[in-house]
Amino acid sequence: MQLVVARVGRAHGIKGEVTVEVRTDEPELRLGPGAVLLTDPASAGPLTIETGRVHSGRLLLRFAGVRDRNGAEALRNTLLIAEVDPDEQPEDPDEYYDHQLMDLDVVTKDGMEVGRITEISHLPSQDLFVVERPDGTEVLIPFVEEIVTEIDLDEQRAVIDPPPGLIDDRAEIDSSMDTENASSKDDEDSSGADA
């Protein structure tokens, strides 16, 4: 099975290094020296990682055969793809590969259907589930322990406990309108009592 593990960014310096946007929780395993990666577009690879280092919080890689800035710049926006055994599991039991999470049904803890995971977006601060609702719209669910309370691979579902407004903006609006209506009703009742 193939997993996207990084996307090549811009060239760094003049000796063929590139910045990469890491898309794996195991960069030391997937993006270490000697790793051979497939590419999208396929014509750019396969690429063998020659060196890797962190500079100012960003991972820099140099590939075998890429020796100058022009060669590095030609790889910009190329996806790096690792071949992974489909039965392989992450070392940490609380971690998951993207392919394990794709197409999981998302439900709230009280059983309400939210939708289906169609994509996992890896941002610098956190990962997000892109969830397609039954009506075709999408909602973004932060993949954090406080919100995603359970991943059940056997049942093919992710259970969430969303804060107000995360999956339904109307819930927050409705509750504030109910509060306003209750306040207005109290005002009417108290002004009627004074008369």
CA–CA separation, 65 vs 154, rounded Å? Answer: 44
Is the model's pLDDT at 92 over the cut of 90?
no
The model's pTM: 0.55
Q: For residue 27, how many other CB atoms are within 10 A of its CB?
A: 17
| Distance between first and last Cα of the chain | 77
pLDDT digits over 111-130, tens only? 899 999 998 887 767 888 99
Average pLDDT over residues 13-32: 86
Let me know the angle formed at the C-alpha of 81 by 102 and 85, rounded to the nearest 5 degrees: 65
pLDDT digits over 94-112, tens only? 778 777 888 999 999 988 9
CB 63 within 8 A of CB 44: no
Of residues 58 and 48, more confidence is placed in: 48
pLDDT digits over 150-187, tens only? 999 889 999 999 998 888 754 443 444 444 444 444 44
Q: Which of 4, 23, 5 is nearest to 122 (CA)?
A: 23
CA–CA separation, 151 vs 101, rounded Å? Answer: 8
